[in-house]
């Protein structure tokens, strides 16, 4: 049970298009403490895991428009997160940093993206060696591995499923997600990372950890966790995988 002194934050979520956005109200329910995750769908000109399309959906203009909608309807925000891994790491480390800074300025709140959420989640768990199960095409998956490498996280194995659209990823059933995570594992990896926010995972987090036998970090999971961390509300919580069970240690 939460301490009554714990903050009950409002974390704004900017989500591109429509695929697994229902993971966020599901996460609100599992959190069960009144934490709010208001979500705005940002413009997606083309649903494609391709560099030019991803740069378009992650542009400062698109995110600023989404932030304005959130601040108009859900202010005050304690944090805001761009819930798109590929639409952040595709800019590279420096570009993704500038993207988050611009979003913070637009929203008037601490800001981050799912790409940095993965890095911070690995740091929280002391993870430096990972296996990656990406739904993306090979070239996009390799950019994620490069991004992790900038943070000192070694990718021991990289599995790319080659799915072009987020809409298709969002239709993958639970059994496929569990099997994909298990198949992506590497014996020497400390965790398995599933980087696509189009993948439904919030209802599977404890099952994923149990199936693989180590932490499985998923995009929608780390996005919520990062928002709570930025808001100072990342206490230990059940039902959302080993990352949430770890709680705040600093």
Confidence of residue 6 (pLDDT cuts 50, 70, 90): low
- pLDDT of 248 reads 67
pLDDT of 44 above 70: yes
Domains annotated for the chain, with CATH where assigned, are 11-246 (3.40.50.12500)
Specify the length of the chain in residues: 250
The whole-model pTM stands at 0.95
Q: Using the Cα atoms of residue 88, residue 91, residue 93 and residue 99 in order, give the sign of their dihedral.
A: negative
Confidence of residue 99 (pLDDT cuts 50, 70, 90): very high
- pLDDT of 103 reads 98
CA distance linking residue 9 with residue 199, whole number of Å: 25
Nearest to 199 by CA among 234, 229, 161, 236: 161
Q: 3-state DSSP: the chain helix, strand, coil percent, rounded to 5?
A: 50, 15, 35
Render 77-128 in DSSP notation, one character per residue. PSEEEE--SHHHHTTHHHHHHHHHHHHHHHHTS-EEEHHHHHHHHHHHHT--
In this structure, are residues 159 and 221 in contact, taking their beta carbons and an 8 Å threshold?
no
53: which residues sit within 8 A by CB, 6+ positions away? 45, 46, 47
Query: Could you read off the pLDDT of 175-234 as tens digits, one per residue?
Result: 999 999 999 999 999 999 999 999 999 999 999 999 999 999 999 999 999 999 999 998
CA distance linking residue 99 with residue 107, whole number of Å: 12
């Amino acid at each position: 049970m939460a301490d009554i002194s714990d903050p009950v934050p409002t974390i704004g979520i900017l989500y591109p298009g429509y695929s697994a956005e229902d993971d966020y109200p599901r996460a609100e329910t599992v959190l069960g403490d009144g934490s709010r995750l208001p979500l705005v769908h940002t413009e997606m000109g083309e649903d494609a895991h391709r560099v030019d399309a991803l740069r378009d959906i992650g542009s400062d203009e698109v995110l600023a428009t989404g932030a304005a909608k959130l601040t108009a309807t859900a202010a005050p925000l304690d944090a805001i997160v761009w819930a798109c891994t590929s639409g952040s790491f595709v800019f590279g480390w420096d570009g993704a940093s500038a993207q988050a800074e611009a979003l913070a300025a637009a929203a008037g709140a601490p800001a981050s993206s799912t790409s940095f959420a993965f890095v911070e989640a690995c740091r929280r768990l002391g993870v430096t060696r990972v296996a990656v199960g990406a739904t993306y095409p090979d070239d996009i998956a390799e950019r994620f591995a490069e991004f992790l490498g900038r943070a000192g996280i070694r990718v021991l194995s990289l599995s790319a499923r080659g799915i072009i659209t987020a809409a298709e990823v969002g239709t993958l059933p639970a059994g496929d997600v569990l099997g994909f995570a298990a198949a992506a594992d590497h014996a020497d990896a400390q965790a398995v990372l599933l980087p696509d926010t189009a993948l439904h995972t919030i209802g599977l987090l404890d099952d994923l950890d149990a199936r693989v036998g180590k932490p499985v970090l998923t995009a929608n999971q780390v996005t919520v966790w990062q928002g709570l961390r930025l808001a100072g509300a990342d206490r230990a919580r059940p039902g959302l995988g080993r990352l949430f069970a770890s709680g705040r240690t600093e």
